[in-house]
A and B are shown apart, each in its own frame.
Chain A
Amino acid sequence: MDAIILQILNGLDKGGAYALIALGLTLIFGTLGVVNFAHGALFMLGAFCAVTFERVLTLSERVRDPSVTFFEAYKEVPYLTIWYGDAGQAIVDWAVPLSIILAIPVMLIVGLAMERGLIRFFYKRSHAEQILVTFGLAIVLQEIVKYFFGANPIPLTAPSALTGSVDLGHWLGLTGISYPLWRIVYFLFSLVVIAAVFAFLQLTTFGMVVRAGMADRETVGLLGINISRKFTIVFGIAAVVAGLAGVMYTPILAPNYHLGMDFLVLSFVVVVVGGMGSLGGAVLAGFLLGILQSFASMTEVKAIVPGIDQIIIYLVAVVVLLVRPRGLLGRKGVMEA
């Protein structure tokens, strides 16, 4: 029982990341009809927004270390600490969550620029060409990041208040389930972002128009609404969602330049399993596959079927595509071929 709960928890944070990326992919596919192979790169860019922000905050000055008395020792002290004392120290400590402030505008601009500069020329072209051009873009983005940040993973830490583990068993009435706090934070964060996206689409006029456009683009256009401008903004939002997923994921997995590619393939599988064009399906499949993957990596399971943890997600995708090609929650007739 404990083991099962632990595995579900393990799956939740990864599932959260899958769900957020898949949500953006589905939004883009549902509105613009574009298969965006560069979406993983947006996740990676988000992670490197956090890296950049942390580096800016920790710009340091070398000062004499007064605690060492018998020789001249120097240490690096961030300017923020020098200027603001403990408050500055706290800001540095909370660098990762705070970098959301930087990531939102940056990712929005990146998303809008991508759509206006490249993607919009590919609406009328085949899916194969969309895949290829965004694949090329993904390579370019990751190589640019590699040029500036190097090839090695850059570890970031969660705020000290949120590191360490909590004894979840205590809350649930079980014993011996302690779990890294930041992963729970990530799960909750992903829920909040997902809820925000859904609320935006369901409760605002803008969201209503977008949903109408997803259902029937032409009619909405005939009603005199500039639907393509709205869709551009949707692309920006999808980029922000992917970026935020990347920002918050940095303490869990030190980002390197090919982080995006690793997540992209899996996110596509998630979208396919959830149902192309179905937002709820993307979220559901994201969490389901995350949990499934963590179950498959249990040693007990691996003893029965060796290597299953490596291929479980792809296996599920293959089965789903063959048995129920529209995906778990996909609408009938949407991209079923």
Chain B
Amino acid sequence: MSQSVMTSGNRPEKGMGKSPAERTEPTGSGLRGFMRSSGGDYLLLAVFAAAILTMPIWLAPIGAGYPDILQKFAIFGIFALGFNILFGFSGYLSFGHAAFLGVGSYAAVWMFKLLSMNAFPALIFAVLVSGVFALLIGFVSLRRSGIYFSILTLAFAQMSYNLAYSVLTPITNGETGLQVNRSDPRILDQLFGGTSMTVPDIFGVQLQGWAGFYFCAVLLILAFFITMRIKNSTFGLMLFAIKANQTRMSFTGFSTRPYLLTAFVISGMYAGLAGGLLAVTDPLAGAERMQWTASGEVVLMTILGGVGTLLGPVIGAAVIKYLEQIFSSFNEGLLHRAFDFLPTAVQDIVVAIVAPFVGEGWQLTLGLMFMIVVIFLPGGIMEGVGRIARRVRRDKPSDDGAASKAGH
């Protein structure tokens, strides 16, 4: 059974159909699974899709209405969504997820170099390679749980990072990073007389600017849809059961490892897709993407948004990337202009206080946010929203349902 679950990493619903947990009728796959989902989910998906696609309009007033940052929102949204499938659903905290992001980037750039500048082979290869990579690492790491699991994943990620810088230089091009050159073979492009440009495209449409954003956005919506389906499937339920009480799960007669491994591989593939997209929007891959601070960042995104929720990770990723953009672009001169409305003396003091937190100091703000979120709002933004919503609807007696509603 474990084999069937493992090999169906792409579509967990199918594998689940064979699990003993399932009632005899195979649910969760194909049209039936579609029908089973409540209408509310599709409303959520529609609203989500509309919100993502109209981001250029409604994010313009806060200065984020340009493709560069919006596609970052989408890419890191995918990354965090995938991370959440592992950490949020099953409670296993991986501290090495950036390794899959980096592997995905490298794989995509290699496809650009060898086959074609078309984005699809690159992305498919990125997802496959990172999936296999995740299978290997997950197979070993998931023999342990708790902090041991975190340290194992961290160790593997550090290993990959170190290797990418040293021995694997022929593959990764070391510190320079892997780049696309005009002299690359690009077999498919040669055969079909494709472009000689070094810009990734999908069948002639260059993925730059707005085209790049919409490409990422569509993939984000797709990723969101799959995550939603996973959450509503029996498989998702299994993961939540593992999070709630793994011992009890195994006492009930389930081998938890196949489920965890599937979740690990899926989330690795999400990371690979995100890494591939990073390469699509900018065909360059470097080892610094695999550093463990990058792994920490995706953890923060997920927590900030709301662990185990659907929307949370996407919101968290967007907030972090937005703040990163804003904070790191400020300098003292800009600060003085921003606090122009204050009297000069006060202005100088305010600027002196704020200055360490912006520009180069963005990391400091990030660390502080990390602490504040974990200390005061471990449920993330979604929990905060849920709390406010509950306070507004005082007339209803508060029940457990409110807490689970925060889960959307």
Contacts and interface: CB of A to CB of B under 8 A. Distances in A.
Nearest to B162: A310
Nearest to A265: B158
Contacts of B55: none
A140 interface: yes
Interface string B332-376: 000000000000000000000000100011011011111100110
B363 A143 contact: yes
Interface stretch (A10-18, A104-112, A129-137, A213-221): A129-137
B341 to A, nearest CB: 27
Contact of A272 (B91, B151, B374): B151
A322 B151 CA distance: 12
Contact of B370 (A121, A135, A314): A135
Contacts of A140: 364, 367-368, 371
Nearest to B363: A143
B159 A147 contact: no
Main secondary structure of the interface of A (DSSP, over half): helix
Main secondary structure of the interface of B (DSSP, over half): helix
Given A140-B367, A268-B154, A310-B167, A133 B144 contact: no
A166 interface: no
Contacts of B370: 132-133, 135-136, 139
A96 interface: no
B155 A317 contact: yes
B296 interface: yes
B143 interface: yes
A265 B371 CA distance: 20
Contacts of B292: 261, 265
Interface residues of B, number: 45
A14 to B, nearest CB: 16
A128 interface: yes
Contact of B166 (A136, A265, A307): A307
A321 B368 contact: no
A205 B319 CA distance: 52
A325 B293 CA distance: 26
B374 A129 contact: yes
B152 A35 contact: no
A147 B356 contact: yes
Contacts of A265: 154-155, 158, 292
A79 to B, nearest CB: 30
B380 to A, nearest CB: 12
Interface residues of A, number: 38
B378 interface: yes
A154 interface: no
A131 B93 contact: yes
A272 B368 CA distance: 28
Given A139-B367, A140-B368, A318-B156, A310 B166 contact: yes
B364 A139 contact: yes
A109 to B, nearest CB: 20
A167 B142 CA distance: 49
Contacts of B368: 136, 140
Contact of A144 (B163, B293, B303, B364): B364
Interface in B173-226: none
A315 interface: yes
A143 B371 contact: no
Contacts of B366: 139
Interface in A288-335: 306-307, 310-311, 314-315, 317-318, 321-322, 325, 335
A120 to B, nearest CB: 12
A318 B140 contact: yes
Interface in A112-129: 118, 121, 125, 127-129
B159 A315 contact: yes
Contacts of B152: 317-318, 321
B299 interface: yes
A269 interface: yes
27 contacts: A127-B146, A127-B150, A128-B87, A131-B147, A135-B370, A137-B371, A139-B296, A143-B363, A265-B154, A265-B155, A265-B292, A268-B151, A269-B151, A269-B155, A272-B148, A310-B166, A310-B167, A314-B155, A314-B156, A314-B158, A315-B159, A318-B140, A318-B156, A321-B144, A322-B140, A337-B144, A337-B148
Given A128-B91, A128-B150, A265-B155, 6 more contacts: A135-B370, A139-B363, A144-B364, A322-B140, A335-B146, A337-B145
